Amino acid sequence: MDASRIARVLSEMGTLLELKGENPFRCRAYHAAAQALEGLPADLGVMIADGSLKDVSGIGETMHKKIVQLATTGRLAEHEELRRKTPPGLIALLRVPGLGPKKIKLLHEELAIESLADLRREAESGRIAALKGFGVKTEAKIKEGVAYIESMGDRILISQADRLASPVLAAVRAHPAVIRAETCGSLRRRAETIGDIDVLFSSTEPAAVLDALVALPQVATVLAHGPTRASVRLADGVQCDLRGVDDSQYPFALHYFTGSKAHNIAIRGRAIERGLSLNEYALTGETGPVPCRDETELFAALGLEFIPPELREHHGEIEAAAAGKLPRLITRADLTGTFHCHTHYSDGANTLEEMALAAQARGLGYLGIADHSRSARYAGGLEIDRVREQWLEIDRLNATFGDSFRLFKGTECDILPDGSLDYPDDLLDGFDYVVASVHSHFHLSRDQMTERLVKAAMNPRVTMMGHLTGRLILAREGYALDVAAVVDAAARSGVMIEINANPHRLDLDAAECRRARAKGVMLVINPDAHATDGLDDLDYGVSVARRAWLTAADVWNTGPPQDMAKRLAARRGG
């Protein structure tokens, strides 16, 4: 197991122990160790081997043993037992905003609540409001939270789907009888949330391959199993559909199972217009099947350019492909650096230097540091003195990097309830750039919230708006806000809007980004990294940008890295 997987196991253990009502110090030790693992300065295997893992703060002797066991065997008996003993519905309750382990434990003990359905029933009956420490307002919030989660059904975040799907896909590809294989469906289209995972492969003996796949250790339950398809449940109850086809059918099946359904229907319509018929196995004309070796040939047979999966939502992609006018979508390789990262100065796990080295290791030429501002107390927001100390350290580090890399001085500055910023102007002028975000007072009216954000978007000291809507995917809707009004303000003032690449946020979303760009707003892809690993979330931001039809020219953090200092300065000057 790698460090981030182990971190997730440990933090889940911390939470399960909290649900059990364990001693808070013991629970916190697990969360602290998990956080330490997320921000390791070197490879976990190396640190175990050379003994330096023992010196990491937050990892005591017993925790060290558990980590080594997880790293070598991938299992921890204690974790498995805790999982077995916790009613699975209780864990789902953690998704309800405002419900922590303590409150859930109380609800479990007092009202025997063990699932979202129990929670909704008890909230509707008014019995939760009557409990000590809850009240009418909390009960109303719980009802709202449950309704939102239920409306999402069993969908999962794309990041979770990636974690589950990648070992399965690797196993499929490793099977000697498999010729080609790919994940399809919403996962290949890089949607925000995933209903189930679809895996397609080609083989001369699909039945034998499927027999091997349903026996994989990742498979918890087999739901259906035939000669060309199987449905299984993976860990965490997520469903995975496996399909095998003959290699000559593969391009057609790949296209069909990638979807979306609306795109498929429109494509099939186009085939019919041209006297062809298309299904998941073949394209057929009057004289017989039209062979295609890959999707590019399939699209070409329909008079279309290759349509990248991220665009296959029936949002105009077929017309654009027919006219040869698809945009050249941005790729991860176009990003030359990024902004909005946190360090241990506020609530990040790593030092400035560790973040800088991690950025360099990922091929970035600059990294913007944007720790929290002073009002964000819960997140270790920086007092003015600390900001100045951080600037000195950044200067010192920059002197050691030479021309090849540069740290920029930024801040994730809170937008106060009245729309003003959390630092005085003279301090703000000392930063290379300012990310303005909302972290408090989420419950203003729609008009007040819109006014607050419009004011920030018109502020000449703001460079970019951070996670504009404040949503947390599958957990909480954004605050009440007229997004279009803020986008209009940003277009007028030339303020950029962030694509927050954290898979829990993806904020702005693709549809809004596409509209914002059409109004002339420049987008910027930021990982909101709280540890070195968080920089890898940039991939999710790129997916949002691609789903928004953006090219490299539509995104600020592209282009030669050595120009970025000048470009930032020009913005600050103007």
For residue 350, report the phi and psi dihedrals to the nearest 5 degrees.
-115, 165
Q: How far is the CB of 196 from ligand DGT (least distance, A)?
A: 5
Q: How far is the CB of 134 from ligand DGT (least distance, A)?
A: 35
Interface residues for ligand DGT in 237-256 (CB under 6 A)? Answer: 256
512 touches Ca ion (CB under 5 A): no
The residue with its CB nearest to ligand DGT is: 259
Q: How far is the CB of 180 from Ca ion (least distance, A)?
A: 19
CA 165 to chain centre: 15
The residue with its CB nearest to Ca ion is: 185
Could you say which of 250, 257, 366, 423 contacts ligand DGT (CB under 6 A)?
257
198 touches Ca ion (CB under 5 A): yes
Q: How far is the CB of 312 from ligand DGT (least distance, A)?
A: 8
Which span sits near ligand DGT by CB under 6 A: 208-216, 258-266, 357-365, 440-448? 258-266
Which CB, 161 or 356, lies closer to ligand DGT? 161
Cis peptide before 260 (omega within 30 of 0): yes
Structure tokens, 381: 């927001």
CA 95 to chain centre: 16
Q: Which of 192, 103, 238 is nearest to 472 (CA)?
A: 192
Which CB, 312 or 452, lies closer to ligand DGT? 312
Q: How far is the CB of 215 from ligand DGT (least distance, A)?
A: 23
Q: How far is the CB of 297 from ligand DGT (least distance, A)?
A: 20
Q: Which does 264 bind (CB under 5 to 8 A by kind): ligand DGT, Zn ion, Ca ion, none?
A: ligand DGT
Residue appearing with tokens 């250790």: 217
Q: Which does 437 bind (CB under 5 to 8 A by kind): Zn ion, Ca ion, ligand DGT, none?
A: Zn ion
Q: Which does 265 bind (CB under 5 to 8 A by kind): Ca ion, Zn ion, ligand DGT, none?
A: ligand DGT
For residues 479 and 155, give the distance between their C-alpha atoms in angstroms, rounded to a whole number.
Answer: 22
279 touches ligand DGT (CB under 6 A): no
Which CB, 18 or 512, lies closer to Zn ion? 512
Let me know: does 134 contact 110? Beta carbons within 8 Å: no
Q: Which does 537 bind (CB under 5 to 8 A by kind): Zn ion, Ca ion, ligand DGT, none?
A: none
Which CB, 213 or 387, lies closer to Zn ion? 387
539 touches Ca ion (CB under 5 A): no
Interface residues for ligand DGT in 143-202 (CB under 6 A)? Answer: 185-186, 194-196, 198
Structure tokens, 275: 């006297």
Which CB, 13 or 428, lies closer to Zn ion? 428
3-state secondary structure of 275: coil
Q: Which does 259 bind (CB under 5 to 8 A by kind): ligand DGT, Zn ion, Ca ion, none?
A: ligand DGT
For residues 342 and 315, give the distance between their C-alpha atoms in angstroms, rounded to a whole number.
Answer: 36
x/- letters, 428..447, toward Zn ion (CB under 5 A): ---------x----------
**What is the per-residue DSSP string for 168-218?**
HHHHHHHSTTEEEEEE-HHHHTT-SEESSEEEEEEES-HHHHHHHHTTSTT
Name the β-bridge partners of 117: none
264 touches ligand DGT (CB under 6 A): yes
Let me know: does 338 contact 525? Beta carbons within 8 Å: yes
Structure tokens, 448: 């007040």
Structure tokens, 171: 């196993």
For residues 231 and 234, give the distance between their C-alpha atoms in angstroms, rounded to a whole number.
Answer: 10
Which CB, 156 or 321, lies closer to ligand DGT? 156
410 touches ligand DGT (CB under 6 A): no
Q: How far is the CB of 473 from Ca ion (least distance, A)?
A: 17
Locate all alpha helices (DSSP H) within 438-497, ordered by sequence: 446-457, 483-493
Structure tokens, 491: 């277009």
For residue 553, report the phi and psi dihedrals to the nearest 5 degrees.
-70, -15
Rg (CA), the chain: 25
265 touches ligand DGT (CB under 6 A): yes
Q: How far is the CB of 403 from Ca ion (least distance, A)?
A: 47
For residues 373 and 382, give the distance between their C-alpha atoms in angstroms, rounded to a whole number.
Answer: 5
114 CB neighbour count, 10 Å cutoff = 17
Residue appearing with tokens 């999982």: 83
For residues 248 and 246, give the distance between their C-alpha atoms in angstroms, rounded to a whole number.
Answer: 6
Which CB, 76 or 438, lies closer to Zn ion? 438
Q: How far is the CB of 176 from ligand DGT (least distance, A)?
A: 27
For residue 389, report the phi and psi dihedrals to the nearest 5 degrees.
-60, -40
Cis peptide before 508 (omega within 30 of 0): yes
Could you say which of 139, 162, 192, 196 contacts Ca ion (CB under 5 A)?
196
Residues that bind ligand DGT (CB under 6 A): 185-186, 194-196, 198, 256-257, 259-261, 264-265
Residues that bind Zn ion (CB under 5 A): 437
Residues that bind Ca ion (CB under 5 A): 185, 196, 198, 241
